[in-house]
Amino acid sequence: MTDHSKIVVFGGTGLVGSAILRKLVEKGYKNILATYHRSPITDHRSLITFIQIDLTNQQSVADFFKTHRPEYVFLAAAKVGGIWANNVYRADFIYQNLQIQNNVIHQSYLNEVKKLLFLGSTCIYPKNCPQPIKEEYLLTGELEYTNEPYAIAKIAGIKMCESFNLQYGTNFISVMPTNLYGENDNFDLEKSHVLPALIRKIHLGKCLEENNWNEIRRDLNKRPIEGVDGNAPKDEILRILDKYGIKITESDQLSVISDHFSAHYSPITDHRSQLTDHSSPITDNSSPITIEVWGTGKPKREFLWSDDMADACVFIMENVDFKDVISDQLSVNSKQLTTHSSPLTDHSSLFTVYRSQITEIRNTHINIGTGKDISIKDLAYLIKDIIGFRGGFYFNTSKPDGTMRKVTDVSKLHSLGWRHSIELKEGIERVYRWYLK
């Protein structure tokens, strides 16, 4: 890619796409397009051309490619959500993700895109596969039921990229990031993943501890919960918070609702100070607030800062080709592939090598992660310490745990020359500062 290569980021307003856009701008790329579904982001509007499009519509995607003729494609668009959303909206998750992938990948082939990067998820791996998870464990066992439709769609995307490469000589690479968090994350308590959900719930719990109704109303005005915004009566706000696991002990309900409560506790006027000022008028022992966490708290998860993920994606787009990913599966190395009788600039001779050897090419995707994990319980207490919440947690064991451990083996990524730089504590501090803006 050169500074003036035409680059498109499909799904440019989400957690993944917006991070890739920031990284591209930071690295000096000047010809960037980004698609959005509902509304564009405001960052770097003078440097990025935002285009609204329904990526599930085949004709709309075909028209986009015909008009704009992108050279490099980041496919970051997807319908995503947490355990509850994946389990309830199963048809939506498999249908919409398959449609998006089929349309974009096929049009990239038809329009001779030089390179495509498809982003999936580590939920593609079997529920009980060995840990840490290597790329070769794909399709070796049963998937986790709660996100099976989403996982199957993403596996189809991997196989589609792999198959187009092998049949047509394209240069489409699939990457599977671990659990991501960062700016522009989804903090919708009905649909968000565990880390952003905990940040928001613990933040609102701290606001209740401090009787900071100005911040509670600001939060709900920005992100209403089931239509309940900051203009709702206090009892309605408390009801919806309780439904989503931000609970007040019954003996304290009336005092929290009462207008006279503020005479005893002074609200924080500048919520941004909460990152450094953890003082609270309610001690650990007297806090009436409890945050519900789904499951036992024992499952362990790996988390990657979204800007690290974006850095890895741009690194791969700039430095790694499909031939580099599969060279160990062929009886020739990367140097021999490069010096094959036909140059591999368009990957045309890769197809010849593949067919001449009649070999099986599998597991061509690349894990992106840290290789480190943390239990949900420890994650909750880490976020609690960062935010300064004084209350407790209730681990609701009637709710599903999901896979008990999921941490990626990132040796393939390390061998290609990339490692993460932001550790979890620093990342949570960064995203909480962003959330408070």
Residue 150: active-site member: yes
Q: Is 231 exposed, middle or buried (CB count within 10 Å of its CB: 0-12, 13-18, 19+)?
A: exposed
Residue whose tokens read 């090419």: 361
Question: 184 Cβ partners below 8 Å, 6+ apart?
Answer: 13, 14, 15, 18, 19, 41, 306
Does 70 sit behind a cis peptide bond, omega within 30 degrees of 0 on the bond before it?
A: no
* Measured distance CA(302)–CA(423) in Å, rounded: 11
User: Per-residue DSSP letters for 263-298?
Assistant: GTSPPPS-GGGGGT----SS-TTT--EEEEEES-S-
Question: 145 Cβ partners below 8 Å, 6+ apart?
Answer: 87, 127
- Residue 27's CB is within 10 A of a number of other CB atoms, namely 13
Q: Is 86 exposed, middle or buried (CB count within 10 Å of its CB: 0-12, 13-18, 19+)?
A: buried
User: Per-residue DSSP letters for 396-429?
Assistant: ETTS---SSEE-B--HHHHHHT------HHHHHH
Helix (H, G, I), strand (E, B) or coil at 72: strand
Which of 29, 36, 72, 150 is labelled catalytic?
150
Question: 43 Cβ partners below 8 Å, 6+ apart?
Answer: 18, 21, 22
Q: 424-436 and 194-209 helices cross at what angle (nearest 10)?
A: 60
Residue whose tokens read 């993403």: 154
Helix (H, G, I), strand (E, B) or coil at 180: strand
C-beta of residue 153 within 8 angstroms of C-beta of residue 97: yes
Helix (H, G, I), strand (E, B) or coil at 133: strand
Strand ranges, E, within 206-288:
246-248
Q: Which of 21, 24, 1, 26 is nearest to 11 (CA)?
A: 21
* DSSP classification of residue 14: S
Residues marked active site are found at 150
